[in-house]
Structures are given as C-alpha cells and as structure tokens.
Amino acid sequence: MGYAAYREHPGIPRAGHRTVFAVLDVIVPCAHAAAVRRCLAGCEGAGVLRCEPLLHEGATGDGHGFRVRLMVRLPLAAYAQVLHAMLLCAPQGEIGRLLTWREHLARCGMRHGR
C-alpha cells in the first residue's frame, strides 16, 4: 500500500520577483500526515511534494507505528514559519535535511536540476 501526492505548479513568478525554494524531508506518524498537510496549507508557498510510507520489517498492519516521509517544498523565507507549523501539529516528527531545489531535483534523477 502506498501513494504519492504532488503539488500543482504555483504558476509563473511575477517579473522581478524570484522566490528561492527548498525541500525539507520530514518523517511523521502516518496518523498525523493529514494534520501536517493542513498546517502547511496555512504557510504561503509551502506544500507537500510527495508522501511515501516507510515500511519496516515486522509491521503488523494495525496502523500503529507506521510512519511516512513527507517531502515539503517551501520558500526559504518561510522556513521558520513552516517549522513552527510542523512542531504544532506533529511534535514527535523527525525533521531531516534541508535541500536546495536543485539538490532535490538531482536526487530525483534530474541531472540539470531544472
């Protein structure tokens, strides 16, 4: 069982205004993933690019203990706001490395990061 959700393209930036985006990996209990998405909806420019379940050996399937990795796209200027929102809705989550947009695309197999 697995799913992935992708954020729609936000459109063309206004002339003279360039937003620098980054991607933050966050691991939260599966039961809190929806709450994290709702919290991020209140942060302008932030959203979940991908949500993937982390399956581990010996999982029982009862829903307890399952975790998901969320790849959160955010403007660098909103980093503190996004972290605050994440800590409010999933205080036991694990916040991972912050990647530049180019590093994220390279990690996904796009050599030029475009």
Residue 75 is assigned to a structural domain of this protein: yes
Candidate from 38-47, 54-63, 77-86 with smallest mean pLDDT: 54-63
Local confidence band at 57 (pLDDT 50, 70, 90 cut-offs) = low
Residue 3 is assigned to a structural domain of this protein: no
**Residue 1, pLDDT above cutoff 50:** no
Residue 80 is assigned to a structural domain of this protein: yes
pLDDT per residue as tens digits for the range 11-49? 444 545 677 889 999 999 988 899 999 998 888 899 898
Query: Residue 10: its pLDDT value, please?
Result: 47
CATH number for the domain spanning 85: value is 3.30.70.120
The pTM assigned to this predicted structure is 0.69
Residues paired with 13 in a beta bridge: none
Residue 52 is assigned to a structural domain of this protein: yes
Residue 38 is assigned to a structural domain of this protein: yes
Residue 44 is assigned to a structural domain of this protein: yes
Residue 35 is assigned to a structural domain of this protein: yes
Domain that holds residue 52: 21-107
Query: Residue 20: its pLDDT value, please?
Result: 84
Helix (H), strand (E), coil (C) string for the chain: CCCCCCCCCCCCCCCCCCCCEEEEEEEEEHHHHHHHHHHHHCCCCCEEEEEEEECCCCCCCCCCCCEEEEEEEEEHHHHHHHHHHHHHHCCCCEEEEEEEHHHHHHHCCCCCCC
Please tell me the total count of domains within the chain: 1
Query: Residue 17: its pLDDT value, please?
Result: 60
Residue 6 is assigned to a structural domain of this protein: no
